[in-house]
Structure 1
Amino acid sequence: MENAASKNQISSYIIQAQEEEIKRISLELHEGVGQNLFSILTGLQIVEAGIGQDHLKNYLHEMTQLIEKTMQEIRLLSVELYPPALTSLGLLPAIKSYLRVYTSTFGILVEIKSAGIEKSIPEAGSIAVFRVCQEALANIAKYADTSHVKMEMIWRENELKISIFDFGIGFQEEDLEKKPYSLGIVLMKERMLLAGGQCRVYSKIGEGTSIEISLPI
């Protein structure tokens, strides 16, 4: 028992350290690299406005468009790494913000419903739930072959339950270990266990896959 508890403490520490590093990288992308690109973009736009030669003007315009596209990609990556809404607004707004990015990136419509009164969740728990949802949605985009996902969040007095159903091609549960996403599912379950919750995955070929997440609150 002591050995298992020690392993859990080590795993929890590793995940916490990873999250702190992810948060640092996200902030650096947004406030460092993003701000530098914005300064370069502003400078190029000023130069473009003062140039009379059409071929140079066109070239600078292409460069400004490229920088604008790069800035957008960095903003999306920053949000994906660590959404600021998670700590400032809470889990539900953070997930909704991520889903907008997800749909625009993969073309998969996620129909989300929330029932009950949203409650405040400690940061460790909200990060765990967010990461598990993120991994589940990433697996859906890669493997489910679907364009529609249903997601439901149920807020109870002492528990948050989330279900994600993908309407995809599904798989045989007994063959899960052979699948390329098996490690991701193991990590999803491990994250929830360390947060004091659970993650279960159910699937049938041709009938889609359901991810059930629960967390005491």
Structure 2
Amino acid sequence: MGRENISSYIIQSQEEEIKRIALELHEGVGQSLYSVFNGLQFIEAGLEQPHLKNYLKEMSHIMEKTIQEIRILSVELHPPTLMTLGLLQALKSYAKLYTSTFGIEVVIGSEGQEQFISESSSITIFRVCQEALSNIAKYADTSNAYISFQWSKESLHMVIKDDGKGFDLGAKRSYGLEAMKERMFLTGGECVISSKIGEGTSIEISLPLS
């Protein structure tokens, strides 16, 4: 088995495990916590002692926050809309979650007719966008990010960019950036990263569709 096949196999195995964990978080742990949350609210409604009522209300708030955090984690691990509604809608949903978490507005534009993309390719592009947005939140020092889709029957071209601080590509090797390039290479696509200090960063990805 060659290097490319080994890398592809490892990534596929990781994604299958991530999908399993995400499903368990959402349908297992999340649903159990929601049942406990409903039980706490039921008990709170029947209590008459103010101090116990306030205590249970506080516990309910903590439980509600925990349920929301698990839902967010589940979506980050494996978005349920990716294969049901497609890559574009999955990224729009994720962008809302990202904005509420980091306060960075993500503007998404799309030109052309959205095409079918295999599950493995959709996951690859989604992971690249996740990594790019994560880097923007960590390093860019900006309040805006932009994702553009250009669809044709033959290919998908995307740009993820920001107008933040930028960085020197030659200063140090980044595992995250290398992983983005490797993922796109293994799925038959390409990832080109450019950045200038003071002018922001741009990540261009392309994927043949035919």
- Deviations along 1:36-62, whole A, 9 cap, x unmatched? 001101111111111110000000000
> Is 1:183 the equivalent of 2:179?
no
Displacement after TM superposition at 1:157 (Å): 1.8
Give 1:118's match in structure 2, choosing from 107, 114, 120.
114
C-alpha distance in structure 1 between counterparts of 2:32 and 2:17, whole Å: 21
Q: Residue 35 of structure 2 corresponds to which residue in structure 1?
A: 39
Indicate whether 1:27 and 2:32 are aligned: no
For residues 1-217 of structure 1, the aligned pairs below 5 Å read 6-177=2-173, 182-217=174-209
SS at match of 2:153: coil
Aligned amino acid, residue 8 of structure 1? E
Report how far residue 136 of structure 1 moved: 0.6
1:211 counterpart letter in structure 2 = I
Q: Identity over the aligned pairs, expressed in percent?
A: 62
Q: Could you state the TM-score of these two structures normalised by the residue count of structure 2?
A: 0.98
SS at match of 1:169: coil
The whole-number CA distance in structure 1 between the counterparts of 2:65 and 2:170 is 44
1:64 alignment partner AA: S
Structure 2: gaps spanning 5 or more residues: none
Question: Displacement, 1:173?
Answer: 2.2
TM score, norm. by length of structure 1:
0.95
**Misfit runs of 4+, over 3 Å:** none
Between the aligned partners of 1:37 and 1:150, the Cα distance in structure 2 is 36
Q: CA deviation at 1:151?
A: 1.2
Give the Cα–Cα distance (whole angstroms) in 2 for the partners of residues 38 and 113 of structure 1.
Answer: 36
Q: Which amino acid aligns with 1:25?
A: I
What whole-Å deviation, never above 9, does each CA across 1:8-29 have from its counterpart, x for those lacking one?
0000000000000000000000
Supply the AA of the counterpart residue of 2:29.
Answer: V
Aligned equivalents of 1:117, 1:176: Cα separation in 2 = 39
How far the C-alpha of 1:164 sits from its partner, in A, is 1.0
Pairwise CA distance, 1:176: 3.8
The CA RMSD measured in Å over matched residues stands at 0.8
Secondary structure of the 1:174 match is coil
Q: CA deviation at 1:92?
A: 0.5
**Cα distance in 1 for residues equivalent to 2:145 and 2:38:** 40
Unmatched 5+ residue regions in structure 1? none
Q: How many aligned positions are there?
A: 209
| Aligned-partner residue type, residue 80 of structure 1 | E
Report the CA distance between 1:156 and its aligned residue: 1.3
